[in-house]
Structure 1
Amino acid sequence: MRKYIFPLIVVFFLLLSCKNNQNYDFENNIIPKPASLEVKEGGIEIKDKLFLVLNDNSQDANRIKDFVLKYLKPLNIKLVDEVNKEGVNIIIEKNGEGNDESYTLDISEEGIRITSPTYKGAFWGVQTLRQILPPELEAGERPKSVQLSYMKIEDEPRFKYRGMHLDVCRHFFTVGEVKTYIDMLAMHKFNTFHWHLTEDQGWRIEIKAFPKLTEIGSQRDETVVKKNWGEYDGIQYGGYYTQEEIKEIVKYAEDRFITVIPEIEMPGHSLAALAAYPELGCTGGPYEVGKTWGVFDDVYCAGNEQTFLFLETVIDEVCDMFPNSPYIHIGGDECPKTRWETCPKCQQRMIDEGLYDEHELQSYFVQRMEKYINSKGKEIIGWDEILEGGLAPNATVMSWRGEEGGIAAAQQHHDAIMTPGGYCYFDHYQSEDQENEPFAIGGFTNCEKIYGLNPVPESLSEEEAQHIIGVQANVWTEYILDLPHIQYMVLPRMAAMSEVAWTTNRDNDYSAFKQKLQFMFTRYDKAGYNYAEHELEKE
């Protein structure tokens, strides 16, 4: 039987009435762990009169209003312009200086006050308050009792980039499912959603200049059965997002202070695009949308000017759909050079540009696209293969093949995001008992291993370490077909990663974090989230 928080809350408040706050430690159930927390004598009870005081009509202020009013609707919260002395007030203020995601949460006889230099920071303070409140609110239910002890929390994140990735190409997920995934990010204080939108097995984003990308590239004839190459299910599979749907999801994320970074793969992992426009490949095709997983030899032709005109037009439309993203992720990984080695156009390009080999040709490709993307006011991120042949001048490296790519980038004074596969690939098994787990790609990455990740390699100097700007977990969906399966693979591993990404001084003892997870499981239950139970302490 799962442990539920309500009996513990009852016990706590009985103890609170006896002026003994030492029997309940909020620091042990807030994930990620805040920088500082002081519990004080006394407390408040929320009964029938709860007020939100936020007298600001700016866009960011309205985002917080909408979230708080919806979440606390079961408590009959009302928006007011000034403090109402007849009830409990939640006062949200933009005030002070410092890290723009920092916040202070102060619960006292005056009510609940959240302050931050920005409303983005205040929103993370709201997420902390959310974990202090009873979990029934996750289900839209009114708790029987809401009592909070006086406390003061001062908090800020360790990293400015805290990301979760989702591959919607191997398998497609609806607008509603993606929104639910974004809700999960907000709960855990992730501020970046990396949206993998194009791939060999499917092109998922509408580009109006090239309608065949979705007419042809979004559909595959059938899909390989598990890892049985040569055995297919015989079922056509596909789906894509219209531009209006893309904008809807971007707004939904931004309303939760989450930046969406689109990934448009190049020069490899491009088979779906080539199936739609075969003239962009080295052989001219015919090509078909990938039916199996893995890496394919057919990639964009680096010697064909039409390739760059195509990609620049795609980028134009992508930038319009993601106006506030500082980055475009261009992939850059797993690009075989087989076709380039025998392609007359690619070989001529190498001669014309004075390139030594096909690795330098890939670097030429990436740098050329980076220059264009920079002209649109954005920077590029690429997987660590973009280091090969020379790194583009302003590129950020996403280090997935271990920490070496991040080290190399930082030593060259480039920003890096750490996402080493052994720690950050959430498509791996969570248990060594694989026969009793949903089918997965392989590997073994459990919560404890993730919790032990140090994203900043010890080999870096203090100056170089400043270029490690964050950490990200990735969800590749070759074998993940629906939202409950995503949730199972992500939760509670997302909680462990959130502490890695946010908390500067983590507990060395994993068992303390595991105890916090027991409270989080109750919250997941009420939110209706599916999750793996390996860390659940059962009676």
Structure 2
Amino acid sequence: MQPVSYRLESAWQPDGGPNGGFTFSLFNLSGRPLGGFRLVYTSLTRVVDPAACENAVFLRRNANFHEFSPPEGLTLQAGENWTFTVSGLHRQAKHCTDGAKSAYVTLSDGSHVPVAVSDLRLEGATSEPPPPRLPEGRLDLPFALQPWPAEVDAVPGEDFPVLLYPAAGSSAKEIGAVSDVLALFHRLFPAGHAPLSLAPSGQALPIFFVRNGELGGEAYRLAFSGRDIRLEYGAAAGRQYGLTTLAQLLDGARNHPGKFRFPASGTISDRPRYGWRGCHLDVSRQFYPTADVLRLIDILAWFKLNIFHWHLSDDEAWRLEIKAYPTLTTLGVLRGPDEPLLPQLGNGAEPAGGFYSQEDVKAIVARAASLSVEVVPEIDIPGHSTAALVALPELADGQEAPESYHSVQGYPNNALNPAVPLTYEFLEKVFDEMVELFTSRYIHIGGDEVANGSWLASPLARRLMEEEGISGTFALQSYFLKKVKRMLTARGRKLVGWNEVAHGGGVGTEDTLLMAWENPKVGIELAREGYDVVMTPGQAYYLDMAQAEAWQEPGASWAGTATPAHTYGYEAEGEFPEELKNRMKGVQACIWSEHFLSRSYFNRLVFPRLAAIAEAAWTPKAEKDWLRFAAIAPLSPTL
């Protein structure tokens, strides 16, 4: 580990300005004088009034990237520090993760040196520690099951078998299914005692498989006796879920015998509540190695989630290899002080990149398919396209004034222009490659957070709007997305998007699925307009939201706080009128990665709330029980 040469300490005062203020102190620990330098930090709490700083000169900002210089002539001797304040912030800080996420200094010779950063301190108020996330819990039935089944009529036993194995006469596919769930268990719990075996044993119980055409494809039924287990299933997914339930039951009974038991007799009859049981992962803000993506898919399968929504592009990076446009994964992924994309969200002096090759994608899709998980890819268009526009500057209208509009995250001119003909040629080629890589019937096209005012300074866009009789940003977005939908339809794919796809006239409702994220009422409005809907409101299902109001609780706060109890108890159907409930296709967790700078932060924010959403997606409302969930949730695997 390299010694720290410089450290940036930061504090926030609630009374430091309209939205409070930061105090930054840069400490020189290098043993050498520091002069003629500039300081860069990245922070989601952005500066919007450059003049509102003292003892520093504001130089520039790009989204979360901030650059300052000290007063002219300032030199820090070894052990000294430079302190400055910033009060022109766009919002208040509410949590310890709302300060600087990374920093570096640029020396007088142009080189860049890392600066260590500390979590944001709170001044002038009590810095409260996080409260416990789970109560001790209570079990009426001592079974270790996540999510809880639809119907449990089983009697706990006093002991448990050492193993479970496929009975003689099992088909090759049934034996293969046992092997797949056994492999899943080994990957998630490499030090655990395997609950399944392909070979018989005198200390084990056989599993008799029965294909039952009357069961739904994801449904299964287990019957327990002291001699064997009978597993009826509707299709391959139901067989996998039944085996996963058996693995969970036996693992819990073995590792926590005072708390959990294995059934001695009775039945478990199970089926999912919703057809769409999803989890989204943003890999643009932070890059996750292929091994991490594969492990997350394993966790989804363990929780009986069946959709992996892969957010592959955003302003910060384009992560999907497209052979027709190699610069997307060269210029479009590399963030650094001297790179086309500036550091953001925890990047520092060293360039940061990463993308998924087409071979990586094929491996991930294949793993997911083997576990009954459908990979739904997303490229976020027309907004959130800074990385694509940096990689392919010819996609911009060269006559458009720079910084004529800014996204809510602060990116200038970040939307693909619907009036540039090359935009559609680009998308046609991207979709051609995507349909070869992804077997899903869906492609997610984003469609969110296009800034009102986008394109209005583009002469090409103004001309198109005049020719088509279009007025305003969102009518032009609708024009663009209708063309995108036709591209997908021609390729046999259905359009999925965020709820703003409906703005400005939207797109055709047939074969369109929209995700309601801004608030729960949006989902009902979309259903009334005729759209099929997946509910993923930030107030309950965004796993980057802080889990408590306490200052020392990490996470975002724009949608409030989402305690595990709130996430578990939230009912997505909410106020849906009975006649619209058929439009609600399911629920989804969203993992946005702005705050996930470490594995520890990821696991703290994602678990146990991911398991809570899995239970909301699977378990009937009448069978949900918060205290039971709290007793079982600590068994969850983590990344």
Superposition TM-score, scaled by structure 1 size? 0.82
Note the C-alpha offset of 1:300. Answer: 0.6
Identify, as 1 or 2, the structure richer in helix.
Answer: 1
Q: Say which of 280, 289, 296 aligns to 1:174.
A: 289
Q: Give the secondary structure class of the aligned counterpart of 1:313.
A: helix
Unaligned runs of 5+ in 1: 3-22, 531-539
Name the residue aligned to 1:491: 607
Separation in 1, partners of 2:327, 2:449: 25
* Conserved? CA contact 2:415–2:454, under 8 Å: yes
Q: Give the secondary structure class of the aligned counterpart of 1:162.
A: strand
Q: Which amino acid aligns with 1:434?
A: W
Note the C-alpha offset of 1:78. Answer: 4.4
Separation in 1, partners of 2:265, 2:401: 68
Alpha-carbon distance change, 49 to 318 in structure 1, aligned in 2, over 3 angstroms:
closer
Q: Which amino acid aligns with 2:179?
A: K
Structure of higher CA gyration radius: 2
Separation in 2, partners of 1:506, 1:385: 33
Name the residue aligned to 1:469: 585
Note the C-alpha offset of 1:427. Answer: 0.4
Alpha-carbon distance change, 263 to 118 in structure 1, aligned in 2, over 3 angstroms:
same
Q: Which amino acid aligns with 1:46?
A: P
Q: Which amino acid aligns with 1:322?
A: F
Name the residue aligned to 1:346: 461
Note the C-alpha offset of 1:26. Answer: 3.3
Note the C-alpha offset of 1:134. Answer: 2.5
Note the C-alpha offset of 1:45. Answer: 4.0
Q: Say which of 189, 198, 210 aligns to 1:79.
A: 198
Separation in 2, partners of 1:101, 1:76: 22
Residues 49-77 of structure 1 show CA distances to partners (whole Å, capped at 9, x for unaligned) of 8445573345x973553223664894585
Matched, 1:357 2:476: no
Name the residue aligned to 2:627: 514
Name the residue aligned to 2:207: 90
Higher alpha-carbon deviation: 194-203 or 149-158? 149-158
Q: Say which of 543, 547, 557 aligns to 1:430.
A: 547
Higher alpha-carbon deviation: 164-173 or 334-343? 334-343
Separation in 1, partners of 2:288, 2:237: 27
Q: Say which of 388, 395, 418 aligns to 2:503.
A: 388
Q: Give the secondary structure class of the aligned counterpart of 1:429.
A: coil
Separation in 2, partners of 1:41, 1:27: 7
Separation in 1, partners of 2:209, 2:168: 6
Matched, 1:68 2:174: no
Name the residue aligned to 2:8: none
Separation in 1, partners of 2:139, 2:538: 37
Q: Give the secondary structure class of the aligned counterpart of 1:249.
A: helix
Q: Which amino acid aligns with 1:190?
A: L
Q: Which amino acid aligns with 1:454?
A: E
Q: Say which of 419, 432, 451 aligns to 1:316.
A: 432
Q: Say which of 503, 513, 529 aligns to 1:412.
A: 529
Matched, 1:500 2:623: no
Alpha-carbon distance change, 49 to 154 in structure 1, aligned in 2, over 3 angstroms:
closer
Q: Give the secondary structure class of the aligned counterpart of 2:182.
A: helix
* Conserved? CA contact 1:275–1:286, under 8 Å: no
Name the residue aligned to 2:150: 35
Q: Give the secondary structure class of the aligned counterpart of 2:153.
A: strand
Name the residue aligned to 2:241: 124
Separation in 1, partners of 2:539, 2:443: 25
Alpha-carbon distance change, 47 to 387 in structure 1, aligned in 2, over 3 angstroms:
closer
Separation in 1, partners of 2:198, 2:217: 25
Higher alpha-carbon deviation: 25-34 or 405-414? 25-34
Q: Which amino acid aligns with 1:519?
A: I
Separation in 2, partners of 1:48, 1:147: 12
Separation in 2, partners of 1:457, 1:166: 25
Name the residue aligned to 2:318: 203
Note the C-alpha offset of 1:457. Answer: 3.6
How many residue pairs align between the two structures? 489
Note the C-alpha offset of 1:104. Answer: 0.6
Separation in 1, partners of 2:208, 2:240: 12
Name the residue aligned to 1:13: none
Q: Which amino acid aligns with 1:471?
A: V
Name the residue aligned to 2:352: 237
* Conserved? CA contact 1:360–1:390, under 8 Å: yes
* Conserved? CA contact 2:181–2:243, under 8 Å: no
Q: Give the secondary structure class of the aligned counterpart of 1:260.
A: strand
Separation in 1, partners of 2:602, 2:488: 32
Note the C-alpha offset of 1:95. Answer: 1.8
Note the C-alpha offset of 1:340. Answer: 1.2
* Conserved? CA contact 1:202–1:272, under 8 Å: yes
Alpha-carbon distance change, 134 to 389 in structure 1, aligned in 2, over 3 angstroms:
same
Name the residue aligned to 1:115: 232
Note the C-alpha offset of 1:342. Answer: 1.8
Q: Give the secondary structure class of the aligned counterpart of 1:428.
A: coil
Alpha-carbon distance change, 74 to 415 in structure 1, aligned in 2, over 3 angstroms:
same
Separation in 2, partners of 1:149, 1:350: 70
Q: Which amino acid aligns with 1:444?
A: T
Q: Give the secondary structure class of the aligned counterpart of 2:471.
A: coil
Separation in 2, partners of 1:496, 1:49: 28
Name the residue aligned to 1:14: none
